[in-house]
Amino acid sequence: MDSTVATAVPDSARASVALPGARSEVRPLATRPGRPGEGWLRVASAGICGTDVNLYARGLAAPTVLGHHVAGTITEVAADPGARCWSGAVGERVVVEEYLSCGTCRSCATGAYRLCPDTDLWGGGRRIGTIPADEEPGLYGGNAEYLLLPPNAVLHPLPSGLSDELAAWVLPYANALDWTVRAGGVVKGETVVVLGPGYHGLAVTAAARRAGADVIVAGLGRDRARLAMAERLGALPVTADTGDELREGIRRALGSEAADVVVDTVGPTPHVIEVAVDLLGQGGRLVLTTPKNPARVPLDTTAMTRRNLTVSAVRGRRPEAIADAISSLADGTSLLQNVPSADTTLDGTGDMLGRLAAGTGPETPHVVVRPHAN
Ligand SMILES: [Zn+2]
Ligand SMILES: [Zn+2]
C-alpha cells in the first residue's frame, strides 16, 4: 500500500517520457496550478498494458508520458466544480479511466463514452497516456509522479482496503467482466475457453471463474508460467503451438462437451478464429477482443447457422463493470491477488517496455509502474 498522501503538488514531477524510436528517458516536468475544472493526482500505480507496449515499440510520433491504467490519490482540486465532469476530494483514492470524451455526442449521451470520437485512439482522439508531452504540462500519463486530471477525466473511487497493485487490475478486470459476462453472457455452470493467458487472458479467466464457469485456458509452450497462473485461478491449462494442437488439446480438455463461450485474447494470430468456431456448441458465443492480422478471416457460416452461434466484438468496458471490478478485487472474489505483480520504478520503465516488446519481460503479465518507488 502506498500510504503517503501528499497534500500539494510540487513544482515539478518526474516522468518516464517515451520517445520516438522506442527509447525513453526520465525527465522532470514542470507542474502548474490547476485551471478551472482540473485537478492533480499523485500516481500510486500504473499498469502496463499491451497498448503501451505497442505504442512504444511501433514508435511514437512525439515524446509522450504513457500509462493509462492509473490509480492514485487526488492532491489538488481546482476551482469551479461546474467546469468538470468528475467529483472527488483531496485525499480520495481513485482509479482513472483513459477516456477523455466530449460529453455531448450520441455515444456520450447514452453512457457509451468509451466510443466517443473525441477519445478514439485510432481516430486521433485524446486519451490519458497518449497526449504528447510537449502539450504543457505534459503530465497526462500514469508513468509519472503526478497526473493532471482534465475537466473531462473519468474517476472512480477506490475502497481503502484495495492495494495499489490490485488497483492496477481494475481496468483490465473491468474489461474482462464486460466482455465475458455481458458480451459473452457467461453464466454459472457453463464452459468457457480463453485463448491466450496474457494480461487480459488472465483477467477474462478470473471473470469467467467468478461467474461460476468451468474455464480452459490455452497458450503457447513459452506461456507455461502464465498458464500456471491461470491454473491458480481455477482454470485448466492447455499448451499448443499450432492450430491443430490447439483444437485437439482443447477438445481433449472439453471431453464430450462443447464450449459455451470462447473468448479470444491472443492478438494478431488469425487461425484461432477457425478453431474457436469449431469448438463452440449449440448457442455458442465467440467474443473477439482484439483485431487479427490480416484483419479478414474466413468464417464457416454453415457451422455458425447450424449451431446458432453469436459473434461479439468488444471494445473497452461499460462504467457499470468498473464498480463490479472494484468490489470483486476488494473482497477477494476476483482471485487476481493470486497473480504475482512485477513492479518497476520510473527509472526502470523504459527498459521494462523494451523487454516487454522483445518478449523478454517478467513471467507475470501484471507489470506495474510505481512512480514514487526507488
Ligand atoms: Zn490498456
Ligand atoms: Zn462524445
- Determine the average pLDDT of the residues in 242-268: 96
User: What's the CA-to-centroid distance between 310 and ligand 2, angstroms?
Assistant: 28
User: What's the CA-to-centroid distance between 97 and ligand 1, angstroms?
Assistant: 10
Counting ligands in written order, which one lies closest to the CA of residue 118? 2
Given 266, 298, 313, the domain boundary residue is 313
**119-164 pLDDT per residue, tens:** 998 888 999 999 999 999 999 999 999 999 999 999 999 999 999 9
**169-185 pLDDT per residue, tens:** 999 999 999 999 999 99
pLDDT of residue 3: 42
Q: How far is it, in rounded angstroms, from Cα 47 to Cα 4?
A: 19
pLDDT of residue 8: 85
Q: Is the Cα torsion angle 248, 254, 257, 258 positive or negative in sign? A: negative
Is residue 336 included in any domain, yes or no? no
What is the residue range of 203's domain? Answer: 171-313
**57-103 pLDDT per residue, tens:** 998 999 999 999 999 999 999 999 899 999 999 999 999 999 999 99
Is residue 327 included in any domain, yes or no? no
User: What's the CA-to-centroid distance between 99 and ligand 2, angstroms?
Assistant: 10
User: What's the CA-to-centroid distance between 238 and ligand 1, angstroms?
Assistant: 26
Is residue 352 included in any domain, yes or no? yes
Residues 164 and 175 in one domain: no
- Determine the average pLDDT of the residues in 237-253: 96
Residues 99 and 177 in one domain: no
**91-121 pLDDT per residue, tens:** 999 999 999 999 999 999 999 999 999 999 8
Is residue 350 included in any domain, yes or no? yes
| Measured CA angle at 158 (ends 230, 149), to 5 deg | 110
pLDDT of residue 194: 98
User: What's the CA-to-centroid distance between 129 and ligand 1, angstroms?
Assistant: 9
User: What's the CA-to-centroid distance between 68 and ligand 1, angstroms?
Assistant: 6
User: What's the CA-to-centroid distance between 329 and ligand 2, angstroms?
Assistant: 29
Nearest partner of 43 among 55, 54, 29, judged by Cα: 29
User: What's the CA-to-centroid distance between 105 and ligand 2, angstroms?
Assistant: 4
User: What's the CA-to-centroid distance between 110 and ligand 1, angstroms?
Assistant: 23
Is residue 334 included in any domain, yes or no? no
| Ion ligand 2: residues, Cβ under 5 Å | 101-102, 105, 108, 116
Q: What is the CATH number of the domain that holds 212?
A: 3.40.50.720
DSSP state of 179: I
- Determine the average pLDDT of the residues in 309-325: 96
Is residue 329 included in any domain, yes or no? no
End-to-end Cα distance, the chain = 15
pLDDT of residue 164: 96
Residues 142 and 216 in one domain: no
Tell whether the model's pLDDT for residue 36 goes beyond 70.
Answer: yes
CA–chain centroid gap for 230, Å, is: 17
Residues 29 and 108 in one domain: yes
Residues 23 and 130 in one domain: yes
Tell whether the model's pLDDT for residue 10 goes beyond 80.
Answer: yes
Is residue 1 included in any domain, yes or no? no
Is residue 5 included in any domain, yes or no? no
Beta strands 154-157 and 69-77 are unpaired
pLDDT of residue 122: 85
pLDDT of residue 4: 46
Counting ligands in written order, which one lies closest to the CA of residue 142? 1
Residues 282 and 199 in one domain: yes
Question: Omega into 294 within 30° of 0, i.e. cis?
Answer: yes
Residues 281 and 266 in one domain: yes
Q: Is the Cα torsion angle 63, 173, 326, 237 positive or negative in sign? A: negative
Q: What is the CATH number of the domain that holds 97?
A: 3.90.180.10
Residues 253 and 163 in one domain: no
pLDDT of residue 133: 97
Counting ligands in written order, which one lies closest to the CA of residue 130? 1
Tell whether the model's pLDDT for residue 335 goes beyond 90.
Answer: yes
pLDDT of residue 24: 97
Longest dimension (CA), the chain: 65
Number of domains in the chain: 2
Residues 273 and 142 in one domain: no
User: What's the CA-to-centroid distance between 49 and ligand 1, angstroms?
Assistant: 5
Residues 147 and 20 in one domain: yes
User: What's the CA-to-centroid distance between 138 and ligand 1, angstroms?
Assistant: 19
Residues 201 and 348 in one domain: no
192 membership: H or E segment, kind and range: strand 191-195
User: What's the CA-to-centroid distance between 53 and ligand 1, angstroms?
Assistant: 10
pLDDT of residue 1: 42
User: What's the CA-to-centroid distance between 50 and ligand 1, angstroms?
Assistant: 6
Tell whether the model's pLDDT for residue 190 goes beyond 90.
Answer: yes
User: What's the CA-to-centroid distance between 52 and ligand 1, angstroms?
Assistant: 7
User: What's the CA-to-centroid distance between 107 and ligand 2, angstroms?
Assistant: 6
Given 295, 313, 331, the domain boundary residue is 313
User: What's the CA-to-centroid distance between 156 and ligand 2, angstroms?
Assistant: 19
- Determine the average pLDDT of the residues in 189-204: 97
Tell whether the model's pLDDT for residue 233 goes beyond 80.
Answer: yes
Tell whether the model's pLDDT for residue 18 goes beyond 90.
Answer: yes
How long a stretch of residues is the chain? 374
Residues 345 and 301 in one domain: no
Beta strands 259-264 and 342-344 are unpaired
Tell whether the model's pLDDT for residue 6 goes beyond 80.
Answer: no
User: What's the CA-to-centroid distance between 113 and ligand 2, angstroms?
Assistant: 6
